[in-house]
Amino acid sequence: MKQPLTITFLGTGTSQGIPVIGSDHPVCKSTDPKDQRLRVSVLLQWGDYTYVIDIGPDFRQQMLREGISHLDGVLLTHEHSDHTAGIDDIRPFYFRQGDIPFYAHPRVFQQLHERFAYIFEIENKYPGAPTITEIAVDKDTPFELYGKRVIPVEAFHHTLSVLGFKIDGFTYLTDVKTMAASEIDKIRNTEVLVINALREQAHPSHFNLSEALEFIEEVQPKKAYLTHISHLLGFHEEVSKQLPPNVFLAFDTLKITL
């Protein structure tokens, strides 16, 4: 019998978060907590196990808010800063647990070696730096996490290959602009789909709202949640009223269980 999977949305904002620094946009001035979005990430929990997908610059704040004291590993979709810049904040977990497993495409690890060289040094490594265990993954090879089968799914963020992940009936995709038909077939009729919807206007590297809704119609999940949302999409409450019955705007701290 599979253990229930609980998903917590740690952040549902785009790369700048909401509110955007210095912005006078009405959404950035909103007092509705659902309009205040940290950088995009989700927490996955089942039994005694805890993983996160992506580890952006708000990771410390997100872990403190959720009261997380143990982390079994990190899955990375791609190398952009809003998905990786919190890597140094794994140190408290590393000091208690030892090396932290990271699952990512080899290209992503190459980028992290360049940007966070002090973490990956072998000789004369700074003693306060964390250490990670690099586990390479690709779109063609499912892998196991303590009784959960993880199916990587490839999409394209403009021309950059990014990975999403299907775990049980949950599929998480972000920073998607296009996807091959063979990859869409992997996730058809998933129970819950999470997909990015940046704004109403078209964007070169992200789904806008209409593209996200078309994608949801093609995949046919039971429920879909929109994430990686910018202030330009509008107020949470107003946008929510315009969505199909099985489509919802995700918001920070939202929890769902499968």
What digits encode the pLDDT tens for the residues 36-81? 999 999 999 999 999 999 999 999 999 999 999 999 999 999 999 9
Fold of 6-257: Metallo-beta-lactamase; Chain A (3.60.15)
Point out which residues pair with 121 in neighbouring strands.
none
Give the per-residue pLDDT at 123: 82
Predicted TM-score of the model (pTM): 0.97
Give the per-residue pLDDT at 33: 98
The SS3 call for residue 5 is coil
Strand segments (E) across the chain: 6-11, 41-46, 49-53, 73-75, 100-104, 132-136, 143-145, 148-157, 160-167, 170-172, 192-196, 223-227, 247-249, 255-257
DSSP state of 3: P
Residues 165-170, mean pLDDT to the nearest whole number: 97
User: Above 90 in pLDDT, residue 208?
Assistant: yes
Q: How far is CA 6 from CA 103, 120, 167, in A?
A: 20, 32, 11
Give 193's Cβ-side CA count (13 Å radius): 26
Query: Residue ranges of the domains in the chain?
Result: 6-257
Point out which residues pair with 224 in neighbouring strands.
193, 247
What mean pLDDT, rounded, does the chain reach? 97
Give the per-residue pLDDT at 196: 98
Give the per-residue pLDDT at 2: 81
pLDDT tens-digit profile of 22-36? 999 999 999 999 999
